[in-house]
A and B are shown apart, each in its own frame.
Chain A
Amino acid sequence: GAGVSQTPSNKVTEKGKYVELRCDPISGHTALYWYRQSLGQGPEFLIYFQGTGAADDSGLPNDRFFAVRPEGSVSTLKIQRTERGDSAVYLCASSPLRVKNTGELFFGEGSRLTVL
């Protein structure tokens, strides 16, 4: 596709439920990032994939959060036992091969998660 695609754009769930957020990066981009943006704040790093492997998951807040990228393209962020504090916009970004990396991250429009 032309840009990073994220689905769903909006997700409302109840406390304790499980949610999955999907990211389809720009074709050919091997690096994929998940960020979380709370209202009035800057994006907060969660996890980085280079290819299929999670090269840096130091930003995941706890073990309720998990992300996969099984074929090195689409990624899914999974949140178990959701809490109200998980409500935020979850942003996915991708960037090209390391050797060609200009530094720019290409962000998706985000998935807005609301936990009631």
Chain B
Amino acid sequence: GENVEQHPSTLSVQEGDSAVIKCTYSDSASNYFPWYKQELGKRPQLIIDIRSNVGEKKDQRIAVTLNKTAKHFSLHITETQPEDSAVYFCAASESGGYNKLIFGAGTRLAVHP
């Protein structure tokens, strides 16, 4: 089955700096890669996703890149703000109609003012 590894487990940056979180996956059949943000004690919420037919997607300060050959994908956050502080999870699935998402272990991002 699919296995997703995520690095780093914790990341501390100064406000305004960029943050990069990386994930690798094992199943070459996976073709859908979302990123979820989870604030302390709250529900995970989708922030951006990418499908295997594109290599990059951007949404304001957030971007995701995908390298299918190497089976890795990354989240990039530019101009970080304190409200970006949260745990970020990457995931992978075979989007054949339902999302049996396999999640990474998470990255705790702290943005210091």
B44 at the interface (CB under 8 A from A): yes
Count how many pairs of residues, one from A and one from B, have CB atoms less than 8 Å apart in the complex.
61
Contacts of A110 in B (CB 8 A): 43
Measured in the bound complex, the distance between the Cα atoms of B55 and A31 in whole Å is 28
Per-residue contact bits, chain B 78-113, to A (CB 8 Å; 1 contact, 0 not): 000000000001010001011111111110000000
Measured in the bound complex, the distance between the Cα atoms of B45 and A101 in whole Å is 16
Measured in the bound complex, the distance between the Cα atoms of B95 and A105 in whole Å is 12
A71 at the interface (CB under 8 A from B): no
Q: How many A residues, CB 8 Å from partner?
A: 25
**Smallest CB gap from B4: residue in A:** A42
Contacts of A64 in B (CB 8 A): none
B46 at the interface (CB under 8 A from A): yes
Chain B interface (Cβ within 8 Å of chain A)?
4, 6, 32, 34, 42-46, 49, 51, 89, 91, 95, 97-106
